């Protein structure tokens, strides 16, 4: 744990990507293959958490003499349970055993910790949990305990992306990046074999693996539209995914690199007739039962929440894949070919297999910027989120590359709302009130409408934080009720009826557009105005 | 009537006819130390520790009327007897002990710490009836490591960077000189000082504190001249145009706040050195118990939490005194 905690601490302190890559690369070179595989697995957040933050907190409180309220004060201040516990280890009684035995425990390699130590903390036995945690905590320094607590509860958040890990592994092992990408995408086992297989050229590639996704950037203000260069498509609002057919088996992956095949039995069977060695990038959608068009995202969401996919559920919300791109055909990686070439191959494939559940994303026409904007408006009427603009010459890269794929969405809906509650953020934002609840007028009353976290500059955040501290009316645990004075313009992507908010409305992706310093609270918008947004023109 | 009460001008001792660290202009101000949130210009007369005269002069100007008292020297003001005692916070920092025959002994701690500090006299525990304590870092997550260990970490961090400058941000008064005093034991190499730190550093030298060699930043230097050099600068210089002269320097902040990760990231520093001029949680608890005070009043920082802890877990009559001060490490 010592060496891994040192890596964790160094990564946390590094700001440049290149520095992080070299830290991780040095770690991979230095430790055993098994330790390196575990570190990669943990940094990619592949491990399911072994313990909830709540359980970690509870076991700590049971083992220490610290009053619960004081722990909560600390947690509110630190912003993170795992770190709070690590900083409070001095409040625990010393465990049995010698200093040497504690030292030896702390020095055990990561793989031994993961494979032999962690099972001592079973999910369903609180006494064993407490015994294991106290033994571990009394052997570790605060930074080591922090690393362990993060291993247990998940989510490292040290600014290490998947791409960064892949680069570090590729250069530490001296193998091609694309091989590492495939091995480290989707599910994999954190064993020494993972890395030894990568090094030996004869190892069979894992057949299930998707490719890393290429993501779009929001269109920038100074974008110049050249109809010849850009391929236009609708941007659908479903689950971005990859359909993989290799060695007789079909896999459906979500963009979050989650295997979602079991959720779509109605896709698996028909799509299995795709030829072996195929990888399609597309959108998984619920299809309308009345029109030949996608159903709203909510329909797909309801279906995903069902435990039992009964025939009635499948009939009510049949799934379909709208294909965007072709990444592999006949076992050959097409990603380095230009989009125009991949598109031609995709069209031929979709026509050849002729499956009702697989359609191709239509290519749209616009001769000018004006036509492009009209098309974007029309996209909404068809239930799409907006448009995608893809460079016809571009290769299929990795991640969010500027200037290759743009997304162009409709201007969001907006309202002016009053800030009523504030709460401290977590992680980077601990100690700063950054989580806000906004309200709208309903007659003479302000009713809560939406929560929003983002959209303000650091300067505005700091200013608002000061204001909140000075204008707190009441405190309810971590929540501050503030004077209803400040008005903010909120933007959101969709609005629906909801019983959860007092206003009776719920919005998707709310965010702060700007601070309306020019508006007094009484001039903020009303619930009635927001309700009018419920039924946008069809 | 209590010996000390809280007024809009600050802590007032009506029986003695003075204020302690007043926020406004008054006739007589007794100062605990020279941090800007405690020593404000405009009062008629200032009473302070003899050893803080140099730094207070640098702060309040040559026209201010300063009266220095040796630590432990007793002086009668109105109906009370006042003496100043080391607080261990910064050079010349003092606790104010006030004695009245009916009201008993009150001690106002000012800012203080219990860790060793080569730039000032160590904190002196005083028995009293009522103790007014600071609580800037009064949460059990704040437990300092030995400052000599931290200073060595800082030194190693500086020496490991040979191609770029190392910028260590810290408060211009107290922290900067404390770092220089620790570095004096580790190296002869001179340290570059931001302009805002020069006057106070000179005041420390005049007061006889031995510090590492320093020099002002050269007028026209290219970033190559800063390779492998250490620069001390105030937090206000972070991301300012002043910083442009350094090409991708490594940056660090030296403060008690750096004990919490979120604080370091939020302030945008690569590294944090946990080095504070305030008492950590164990020192605060220890100090309160050593005074054997019957009543404890708490100011600065986490005063509500600390007072509650003293009441509920230590059985001490304690209450928050409200936030009197803002500034220095306490609120920035
Ligand atoms: Zn101070
Ligand atoms: Zn202070």
3-state secondary structure of B271: strand
Work out the number of other CB atoms within 10 angstroms of the CB of residue A492.
22
Average pLDDT value for chain A:
86
Work out the number of other CB atoms within 10 angstroms of the CB of residue B80.
22
Q: Is pLDDT above 90 for B101?
A: yes
Q: How confident is the model at residue A522 (pLDDT cuts 50, 70, 90)?
A: confident
Decide: A245 and A255 in contact? Cβ < 8 Å. Answer: no
pLDDT for res B67:
97
Q: How confident is the model at residue B329 (pLDDT cuts 50, 70, 90)?
A: very low
Work out the number of other CB atoms within 10 angstroms of the CB of residue A122.
14
Measured between CA atoms, how close is A165 to chain B, in angstroms?
20
**B25 alpha carbon – ligand 2 mean position (Å):** 18
Please indicate whether residue B121 or residue A491 has the higher confidence score (pLDDT): B121
What contacts 24+ positions apart, CB below 8 Å, involve A473-480?
A477/A72, A478/A76, A478/A423, A478/A424, A479/A421, A479/A422, A479/A423, A480/A421, A480/A422, A480/A423, A480/A433
- For residues B259 and B275, what is the distance between their CA atoms, to the nearest angstrom? 9
**B259 alpha carbon – ligand 2 mean position (Å):** 19
Summarize pLDDT for A244-287 with one digit per residue, the tens: 998 888 999 888 777 888 889 999 999 999 999 999 999 999 99
Report the greatest alpha carbon distance in chain B. 67
Which residues touch A300 (CB under 8 Å, ≥6 apart)? A238, A239, A284, A285, A286, A317, A319
Edge-to-edge strands, sheet with B271-273: B214-216, B191-193, B230-233, B166-169, B250-254, B271-273
For residue B34, give the ligand nearest its CA.
1
Summarize pLDDT for B36-51 with one digit per residue, the tens: 889 999 999 999 999 9
Instruction: Tell me the average pLDDT across B253-276.
Output: 87
- For residues B37 and B10, what is the distance between their CA atoms, to the nearest angstrom? 11
**Which listed CATH number (3.30.70.3270, 3.40.50.10890, 3.40.50.720, 2.60.40.10) goes with B147-273?**
3.40.50.10890
Work out the number of other CB atoms within 10 angstroms of the CB of residue A461.
18
Q: Is A429 on the interface with B (CB under 8 A)?
A: yes
- Report the chain A residue with the minimal C-alpha distance to residue B273: A13
The partner residue sitting opposite A428, judged by closest CB among B266, B302, B312, is B266
Rg (CA), chain B: 20
- For residues A25 and A173, what is the distance between their CA atoms, to the nearest angstrom? 9
Summarize pLDDT for A312-349 with one digit per residue, the tens: 888 888 999 999 999 999 989 899 899 999 999 999 99
The first and second tokens of residue A509, run together, are 């992706």
For residue B171, give the ligand nearest its CA.
1
3-state secondary structure of A140: coil
H helix count then E strand count, chain A: 20, 21
- Which chain B residues have a beta carbon less than 8 Å from that of A15? 270
- Which chain A residues have a beta carbon less than 8 Å from that of B261? 12, 78, 80, 83
pLDDT for res A538:
33
Residues of chain B above pLDDT 70, percent: 96
- Report the chain B residue with the minimal C-alpha distance to residue A15: B270
- For residues B107 and B11, what is the distance between their CA atoms, to the nearest angstrom? 12
Q: How confident is the model at residue B330 (pLDDT cuts 50, 70, 90)?
A: very low
The partner residue sitting opposite A84, judged by closest CB among B141, B265, B271, is B141
Has the ipTM of the complex gone over 0.85? yes
The partner residue sitting opposite A70, judged by closest CB among B261, B266, B309, is B309
Q: Is A6 on the interface with B (CB under 8 A)?
A: no
Q: How confident is the model at residue A182 (pLDDT cuts 50, 70, 90)?
A: confident
The first and second tokens of residue A136, run together, are 């571990």
Question: Residue A314 belongs to what H/E stretch?
Answer: helix A311-316
pLDDT for res A321:
96
**B276 alpha carbon – ligand 2 mean position (Å):** 12
- For residues A205 and B196, what is the distance between their CA atoms, to the nearest angstrom? 61
pLDDT for res B183:
96
Half-sphere exposure of A206 (CA within 13 A, CB side): 21
3-state secondary structure of B299: strand
- Which chain A residues have a beta carbon less than 8 Å from that of B262? 78-80, 83, 426-431
Q: Is pLDDT above 50 for A498?
A: yes
Please indicate whether residue A228 or residue A496 has the higher confidence score (pLDDT): A228
Please indicate whether residue A432 or residue B178 has the higher confidence score (pLDDT): B178
Q: Is A69 on the interface with B (CB under 8 A)?
A: yes
Q: For residue B167, what are the β-bridge partners? A: B231, B251
Q: Is A86 on the interface with B (CB under 8 A)?
A: no
- For residues A118 and A112, what is the distance between their CA atoms, to the nearest angstrom? 9
pLDDT for res A206:
66
Decide: B140 and A91 in contact? Cβ < 8 Å. Answer: yes
DSSP-assigned letter for residue B218: P
- Which chain A residues have a beta carbon less than 8 Å from that of B313? 67
CATH class of B5-141+278-322: alpha beta
The partner residue sitting opposite B141, judged by closest CB among A13, A78, A427, is A78
A431/B263 CB distance under 8 A: yes
Q: Is A427 on the interface with B (CB under 8 A)?
A: yes
Least Cα distance to A326 among A245, A440, A407 occurs for A245
The first and second tokens of residue B139, run together, are 């949460």
Question: Residue B98 belongs to what H/E stretch?
Answer: strand B94-100
User: Which backbone phi and psi does A53 adopt, to 5 degrees?
Assistant: -60, -35
The partner residue sitting opposite A13, judged by closest CB among B140, B259, B270, is B270
User: What separation, in Å, do the N-terminal and C-terminal C-alpha atoms of chain A show?
Assistant: 58
CA A431 to chain centre: 24
**Interface probe with A: pick from B260, B271, B301, most Cβ of A within 10 Å:** B260
B262/A69 CB distance under 8 A: no
**B277 alpha carbon – ligand 2 mean position (Å):** 10
Decide: B256 and B275 in contact? Cβ < 8 Å. Answer: yes
Q: How confident is the model at residue A42 (pLDDT cuts 50, 70, 90)?
A: very high
Q: How confident is the model at residue A536 (pLDDT cuts 50, 70, 90)?
A: very low
Q: For residue A487, what are the β-bridge partners? A: A418
- For residues A8 and B20, what is the distance between their CA atoms, to the nearest angstrom? 46
Q: How confident is the model at residue B332 (pLDDT cuts 50, 70, 90)?
A: very low
- Which chain B residues have a beta carbon less than 8 Å from that of A91? 140
Instruction: Tell me the average pLDDT across A462-473.
Output: 90
Please indicate whether residue B233 or residue A292 has the higher confidence score (pLDDT): B233
The first and second tokens of residue B61, run together, are 């100007």
Ligand 2 is an ion; its neighbours by CB within 5 Å are B 111, 325, 328, 330
Work out the number of other CB atoms within 10 angstroms of the CB of residue A124.
6
Chain B residues contacting A, CB < 8 Å? 139-141, 143, 259-263, 265-266, 270-271, 282, 302, 305, 308-309, 312-313
Question: Structural domain boundaries of chain B?
Answer: 5-141+278-322, 147-273
Q: Is pLDDT above 60 for A38?
A: yes
- For residues A378 and A388, what is the distance between their CA atoms, to the nearest angstrom? 13
Q: Is A432 on the interface with B (CB under 8 A)?
A: yes
**Placement of tokens 């002869």 in the chain:** B188
Instruction: Tell me the average pLDDT across B242-264.
Output: 89
Q: Which of A98-112, A174-188, A405-419, B73-87 has the highest mean pLDDT?
A: B73-87
Instruction: Tell me the average pLDDT across A214-227.
Output: 82
Q: How confident is the model at residue A201 (pLDDT cuts 50, 70, 90)?
A: low
Measured between CA atoms, how close is B210 to chain A, in angstroms?
32
**B100 alpha carbon – ligand 2 mean position (Å):** 26
């Amino acid at each position: 744990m010592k060496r891994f905690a040192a890596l964790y601490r160094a990564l946390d302190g590094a700001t440049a990507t290149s520095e992080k890559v070299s830290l991780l690369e040095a770690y991979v070179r230095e430790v055993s293959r098994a330790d390196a595989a575990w570190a990669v697995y943990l940094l990619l957040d592949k491990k399911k958490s072994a313990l909830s933050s709540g359980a970690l907190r509870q076991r700590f409180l049971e083992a220490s003499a610290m009053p619960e309220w004081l722990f909560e004060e600390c947690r509110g201040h630190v912003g993170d349970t795992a770190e709070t516990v690590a900083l409070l280890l001095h409040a625990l009684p010393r465990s049995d055993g010698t200093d040497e035995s504690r030292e030896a425990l702390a020095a055990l390699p990561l793989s031994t910790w993961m494979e032999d130590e962690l099972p001592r903390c079973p999910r369903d036995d609180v006494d064993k949990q407490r015994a294991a945690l106290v033994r571990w905590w009394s052997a570790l320094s605060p930074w080591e305990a922090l690393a362990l607590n993060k291993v247990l509860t998940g989510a490292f958040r040290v600014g290490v992306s998947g791409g960064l890990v892949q680069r570090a592994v590729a250069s530490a092992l001296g193998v091609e990046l694309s091989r590492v990408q495939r091995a480290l995408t989707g599910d994999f086992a954190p064993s020494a074999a993972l890395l030894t297989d990568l090094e030996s050229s004869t190892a069979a590639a894992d057949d299930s693996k998707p490719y890393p996704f290429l993501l779009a950037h929001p269109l920038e203000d100074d974008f110049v539209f050249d109809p010849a260069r850009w391929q236009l498509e609708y941007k659908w609002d479903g689950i971005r995914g990859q359909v993989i057919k290799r060695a007789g088996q079909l896999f459906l992956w979500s963009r979050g690199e989650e295997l979602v095949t079991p959720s779509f039995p109605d896709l698996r069977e028909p799509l299995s007739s795709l030829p072996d060695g195929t990888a399609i990038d597309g959108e998984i959608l619920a299809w309308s039962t009345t029109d030949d068009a996608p159903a709203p995202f909510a329909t797909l969401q309801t279906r995903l929440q069902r435990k039992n996919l009964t025939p009635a559920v499948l009939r009510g919300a049949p799934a379909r894949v709208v294909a965007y791109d072709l990444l592999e055909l006949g076992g050959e990686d097409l990603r380095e070919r230009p989009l125009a070439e991949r598109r031609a191959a995709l069209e031929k494939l979709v026509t050849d297999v002729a499956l009702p559940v697989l359609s191709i994303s239509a290519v749209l026409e616009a001769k000018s910027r004006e036509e492009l904007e009209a098309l974007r408006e029309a996209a909404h009427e068809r239930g799409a989120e907006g448009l995608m603009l893809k460079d016809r010459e571009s290769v299929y890269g990795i991640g969010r590359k500027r200037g290759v794929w743009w997304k162009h969405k409709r201007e969001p809906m907006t309202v002016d709302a009053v800030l009523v509650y504030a709460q401290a953020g977590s992680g980077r934002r601990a100690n700063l009130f950054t989580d806000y609840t906004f309200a709208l007028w309903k007659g003479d009353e302000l009713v809560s409408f939406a929560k929003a976290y983002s959209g303000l500059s650091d300067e505005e955040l700091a200013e608002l934080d000061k204001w909140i501290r000075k204008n707190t009316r009441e405190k309810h645990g971590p929540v501050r009720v503030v004077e209803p004075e400040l008005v903010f313009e909120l933007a959101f992507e969709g609005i629906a009826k909801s019983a959860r908010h007092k206003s009776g409305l719920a919005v998707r992706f709310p965010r702060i557009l700007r601070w309306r310093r020019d508006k007094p609270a009484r001039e903020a918008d009303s619930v009635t105005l927001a309700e009018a947004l419920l039924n946008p023109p069809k | 009537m209590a010996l000390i009460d809280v007024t809009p001008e600050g802590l007032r001792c009506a029986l003695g006819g003075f204020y302690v660290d007043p926020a406004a202009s008054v006739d007589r101000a007794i100062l605990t130390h020279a941090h800007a949130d405690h020593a404000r210009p405009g009062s008629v007369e200032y009473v302070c520790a003899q050893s803080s005269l140099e730094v207070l002069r640098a702060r309040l100007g040559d026209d201010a009327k300063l009266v220095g008292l040796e630590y432990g020297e007793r002086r009668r003001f109105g109906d009370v007897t006042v003496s100043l005692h080391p607080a261990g916070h910064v050079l010349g920092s003092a606790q104010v002990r006030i004695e009245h025959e009916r009201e008993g002994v009150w001690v106002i701690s000012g800012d203080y710490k219990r860790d060793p500090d080569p730039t000032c006299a160590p904190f002196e525990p005083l028995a009293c009836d009522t103790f007014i304590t600071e609580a800037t870092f009064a949460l059990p997550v704040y437990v300092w490591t030995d400052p000599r260990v931290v200073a060595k970490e800082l030194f190693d961090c500086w020496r490991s960077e040979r191609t770029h400058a190392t910028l260590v941000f810290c408060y211009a008064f107290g922290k900067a000189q404390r770092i220089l005093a620790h570095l004096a034991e580790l190296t002869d190499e001179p340290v570059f000082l931001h302009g805002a730190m020069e006057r106070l550093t000179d005041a420390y030298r005049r007061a006889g504190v031995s510090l590492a060699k320093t020099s002002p930043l050269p007028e026209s230097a290219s970033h190559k001249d800063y390779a492998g050099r250490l620069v001390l600068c105030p937090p206000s210089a972070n991301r300012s145009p002043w910083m442009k002269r350094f090409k991708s320097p490594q940056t660090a902040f030296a403060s008690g706040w750096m004990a919490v990760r979120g604080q370091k990231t939020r302030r945008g520093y690569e590294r944090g050195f946990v080095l504070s001029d305030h008492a950590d949680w164990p020192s605060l608890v220890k100090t309160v118990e050593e005074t054997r005070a019957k009543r404890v009043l708490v100011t600065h920082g986490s005063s509500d939490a600390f007072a509650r802890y003293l009441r509920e877990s230590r059985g001490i009559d304690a209450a928050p005194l409200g936030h009197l001060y803002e500034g220095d490490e306490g609120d920035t």
